Amino acid sequence: MSARPEKKRVAILISGRGSNMVSLIEAARAPDYPAEIVLVLSNRPDAAGLVRAREAGIPARAIDHKAFPDRAAFDAALQAELDAAGIELIVLAGFMRILTDAFVEAWAGRMINIHPSLLPLFKGTHTHERALDAGMRLHGCTVHYVVPELDAGPIVAQAAVPVLPGDDADTLSARVIVQEHRLYPAALALVAGGDAVLEGGRVRFTARARDAGAAILSL
Ligand SMILES: Nc1nc2c(c(=O)[nH]1)N[C@@H](CN(C=O)c1ccc(C(=O)N[C@@H](CCC(=O)O)C(=O)O)cc1)CN2
Ligand SMILES: NCC(=O)N[C@@H]1O[C@H](COP(=O)([O-])[O-])[C@@H](O)[C@H]1O
């Protein structure tokens, strides 16, 4: 019987409450999950997710971006923590800082993000309000590899939700976040397990991932 491949050592980067982080931590408890969450970092010392990570037994530290003269210095401090922990994959989960090109390129193919829209629609912020303003009947969330251009990286997986009559940004975001908590653990498993690989600017899925219908999760 072949030995199970080593779990990828993952750092989750947050800025806020960390609900996606909690979903990932819980998913990674499965013995056959291909990743282990070994570190949580936040650019905001007041992030509630730091407390939730520590409660889950995960080392969690704040690196306050305001304490650095520029983005490059902040990113270098991130890199030092990631190196010290032997991190192999970075998972951005509500991490609200734009990373420098140098940092992103150093982690090419090893850093993913979840965005609360069906990219390439509604890059940037305030996605739910913008989807409502645009009269969308479908909305959702996207897990993508991170590239220097904001929210433009190759897509790993998406989940869609209906926009219902009477929805406002709060009701819509509440529907989307439920799908985020399903999508992100599934997408990280694909990436950590080598079933969704960034190659030549596109995501190549293995036969196993294709058979699992991994790229799209239904309503
Ligand atoms: N180079 C990249 N960096 C980041 C990416 C990316 O795709 N390329 N994804 C983001 C996550 N994100 C949306 O998914 C996002 C994060 C932050 C911002 C933003 O405008 N940040 C402001 C500060 C906002 C704040 O502190 O509240 C900024 O950095 O000046 C937009 C989109 C993570 N990084
Ligand atoms: N542009 C990035 C972005 O907007 N990310 C979004 O921030 C929220 C974080 O919630 P969480 O801290 O509860 O996971 C999530 O909805 C995530 O999609």
Q: How far apart are CA 10 and CA 37, in angstroms?
A: 5
Ligand 1 centroid to residue 95 C-alpha, Å? 7
Does the pLDDT value for residue 219 go beyond 60?
no
Any atom of ligand 2 within 6 Å of the Cβ of 12: no
65 in catalytic set: no
Q: How many CB atoms lie within 10 A of CB 132?
A: 16
Predicted TM-score (pTM) of this structure? 0.96
Taking CA atoms, 65 is separated from 41, 100, 215, in Å, by 11, 13, 34
* Of 79, 77, 29, residue with least CA distance to 57: 29
| Amino acid 208: pLDDT | 82
Any atom of ligand 1 within 6 Å of the Cβ of 1: no
> What are the pLDDT digits (tens) for 19-57?
999 999 999 999 999 999 999 999 999 999 999 999 999
Does the pLDDT value for residue 214 go beyond 80?
no
Q: Of all protein residues, whose CA lies closest to atom 13 belonging to ligand 2? A: 19
Q: Give the chain's mean pLDDT.
A: 95
User: In this structure, what token pair is assigned to residue 192?
Assistant: 């950590």
State the DSSP string of 87-116: --EEEESS---PPPHHHHHHTTTSEEEEES
Is this complex's ipTM strictly greater than 0.90?
Answer: yes
Any atom of ligand 2 within 6 Å of the Cβ of 209: no
Does the pLDDT value for residue 11 go beyond 60?
yes
Does the pLDDT value for residue 103 go beyond 90?
yes
